[in-house]
């Protein structure tokens, strides 16, 4: 049995912190990271000529100034960062080009209109040291649940994994964002939309002052080292803003630091049983609401926690803890379960797993599941009486 943090590479043995440090370019204020021994690193940034910003989150938005660009050292993000390697110096992954492809080869409309649509992303990072082994199982599990339990048409589910033959369905940053635009395009009242992600998640400093804890949450596409991460602000503007009245979006995110990954205004405190405000502290108005629709997010853990892949559940291979417990609970309650009941079952299962492990095993291996599934929403609702449905 092994539990592997999605914030660490999958390999039994060395799980010590890396020497990867996050930096801010003084000229354009964008974020990048690099390996270094000590002290500050100086380099020009990408719009200012810097190789470091190849892994910056907003490389395409860099300033044009090429003068006086220094990259100053900033505090390390979270408790650990990925070990990066140079095994693919041209920035490609498994032979795919990281440059934007033409429009994705997937129907934007159908002979008849369906009111259910889903995007499922499972990122394994298979050529990297921080690869994950449970994400394909997670994605297959979610797809089966949507079809069998929630009657999603197969042709209305777009799956992005590294196993796809169509290069437009590889989970690159470009392809994921294109798929998210497809998900909400021309949405109408009565539509049920689902975004699912299994992979790595990170945090980065928030310079827009729209985060209570001072950090933006991010998702890592397969090419994030070259093209950058997908921030919670990007996700919010892409799939939350367009939601019209009568449209419901559910996001299920099995990644580290994913608590407020959709930047929704209300976070449910499971312990106290109340909704808490997640309003940005910035004085300038920052849009975080829908256009009348409802957005709900179920995250693997809180913003300051790390999610896990685990083999503790038995069966074949690894599974994300959130995905496994979520799908298991839904199948056990075919007549429906409330949002509160769903959270309660997942919390109980995690405590049960940790209790059943011997004290000596926990001391020697330090492999307990330390994550609290979190619910957030664009609107408050009664979680004790509202039945979970997609």
Q: 179-188 pLDDT, tens per residue?
A: 999 999 999 9
Domain's final residue, options 73, 105, 136? 73
Domain's final residue, options 41, 73, 105? 73
Domain-located, residue 85:
no
256 is catalytic: yes
Catalytically annotated residue among 256, 257, 266, 301: 256
297 is catalytic: no
pLDDT band at residue 80 using 50, 70 and 90 as cut-offs: very low
Burial class (CB in 10 A: 0-12, 13-18, 19+), 271: exposed
Specify the range with the lowest mean pLDDT, choosing from 121-130, 192-201, 371-380: 121-130
| Share above pLDDT 90 across residues of the chain, in percent, rounded to a whole number | 52
- Judgement on whether residues 27 and 174 belong to the same structural domain of the protein: no
Global pTM reads 0.73
Per-residue pLDDT, 204: 85
Per-residue pLDDT, 120: 98
- Judgement on whether residues 368 and 245 belong to the same structural domain of the protein: yes
Three-state SS letters, the chain: CCEEECCCCCCCCCCCCCCEEEEEECCCCCEEEEECCCCCCCCCCHHHCCCHHHHCCCHHHCCCCCCCCCEEECCCCCCCCCCCCCCCCCCCECCECCCCCCCCCCCCCCCCCCCEEEEEEECCCCCCCCCCCCHHHHHHHHHHHHHHHHCCCHHHEEEEECCCCCHHHCCCHHHHHHHHHHHHCCCCCCCEEEEEEECCEEEEECCCCCCCCCEEEEECCCCHHHHCCEEHHHHHHHHHCCCECCCEEEEEEECCCCCCCCCCCEEEECCCCEEEECCCCCCCCCCCCCEECEEEEEECCCCCCCCEEECCCCCCCCEEHHHHHHHHHHHHCCCCCEHHHHHHHHHHHHHHHHHHCCHHHHHHHCCCCCCCCEEEECCCCCCCCCECCC
Domain-located, residue 89:
no
- Judgement on whether residues 242 and 139 belong to the same structural domain of the protein: yes
Domain-located, residue 4:
no
Per-residue pLDDT, 369: 81
Q: 6-38 pLDDT, tens per residue?
A: 544 333 333 333 333 344 444 444 444 443 443
Q: Going by C-beta distance under 8 Å and a sequence separation of 6 or more, which residues neighbour residue 1?
A: 310, 311, 312, 367
Q: Going by C-beta distance under 8 Å and a sequence separation of 6 or more, which residues neighbour residue 267?
A: 259, 260, 275, 276, 277, 278, 374, 375, 376
CA 358 – CA 90 distance, rounded (Å): 47
Catalytically annotated residue among 23, 62, 200, 250: 200
| Segments forming the whole domain that contains residue 343 | 97-377
- Judgement on whether residues 141 and 207 belong to the same structural domain of the protein: yes
- Judgement on whether residues 181 and 290 belong to the same structural domain of the protein: yes
Domain-located, residue 64:
yes
Per-residue pLDDT, 308: 82
- Judgement on whether residues 222 and 321 belong to the same structural domain of the protein: yes
Number of domains in the chain: 2
Per-residue pLDDT, 211: 79
pLDDT band at residue 315 using 50, 70 and 90 as cut-offs: low
- Judgement on whether residues 29 and 154 belong to the same structural domain of the protein: no
Mean pLDDT calculated for residue range 328-347: 96
What's 329's domain CATH number?
A: 3.40.50.12660
pLDDT band at residue 367 using 50, 70 and 90 as cut-offs: low
Domain-located, residue 338:
yes
Residue scoring higher pLDDT (320 or 106) = 320
- Judgement on whether residues 139 and 205 belong to the same structural domain of the protein: yes
């Amino acid at each position: 049995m092994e539990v592997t943090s999605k914030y660490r590479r999958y390999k039994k043995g060395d799980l010590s912190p890396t020497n990867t440090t996050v930096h801010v370019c003084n000229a354009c204020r964008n974020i990048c990271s690099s390996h270094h021994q000590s002290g500050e690193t100086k380099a020009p940034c990408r719009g200012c000529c810097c190789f470091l910003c190849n892994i910056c989150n907003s490389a395409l938005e860099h300033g044009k100034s090429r003068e006086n660009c220094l990259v100053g050292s900033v505090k390390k993000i979270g408790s650990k960062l990925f070990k990066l390697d140079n095994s693919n110096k041209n920035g490609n992954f498994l032979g795919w080009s990281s440059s934007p492809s033409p429009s994705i080869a997937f129907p934007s409309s159908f002979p008849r209109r369906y009111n259910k649509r889903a995007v499922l992303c499972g990122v394994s990072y298979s050529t990297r040291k921080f690869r994950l082994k449970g994400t394909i199982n997670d994605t297959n599990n979610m797809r089966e649940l949507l079809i069998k339990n929630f009657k999603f048409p197969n042709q209305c589910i777009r799956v992005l994994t590294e196993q796809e033959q169509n290069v437009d369905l590889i989970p690159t940053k470009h392809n994921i964002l294109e798929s998210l635009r497809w998900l909400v395009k021309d949405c109408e009242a009565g539509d049920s939309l689902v975004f699912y992600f299994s992979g790595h998640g990170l945090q980065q400093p928030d310079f827009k002052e729209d985060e209570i804890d001072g950090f933006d949450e991010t998702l890592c596409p397969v090419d994030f080292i070259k093209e950058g991460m997908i921030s919670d602000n990007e996700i919010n503007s892409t799939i939350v803003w367009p939601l019209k009245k009568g449209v419901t979006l559910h996001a299920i995110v099995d990644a580290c630091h994913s608590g407020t990954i959709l930047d929704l205004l209300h976070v449910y405190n499971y312990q106290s049983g109340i909704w808490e405000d997640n309003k940005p502290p910035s004085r300038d108005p920052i849009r975080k609401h829908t256009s009348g629709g409802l957005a709900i997010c179920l995250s693997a853990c809180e913003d300051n926690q790390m999610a896990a892949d685990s083999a503790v559940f038995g069966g074949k291979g690894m599974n994300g803890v959130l995905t496994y417990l979520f799908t298991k609970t839904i199948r056990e309650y075919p007549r429906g379960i409330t949002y509160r009941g769903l959270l309660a079952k997942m919390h109980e299962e995690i405590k049960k797993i940790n209790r059943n492990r011997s004290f000596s095993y926990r001391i020697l291996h330090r492999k307990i599941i330390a994550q609290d599934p979190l619910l957030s929403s664009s609107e408050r609702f009664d979680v004790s009486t509202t039945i979970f449905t997609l």
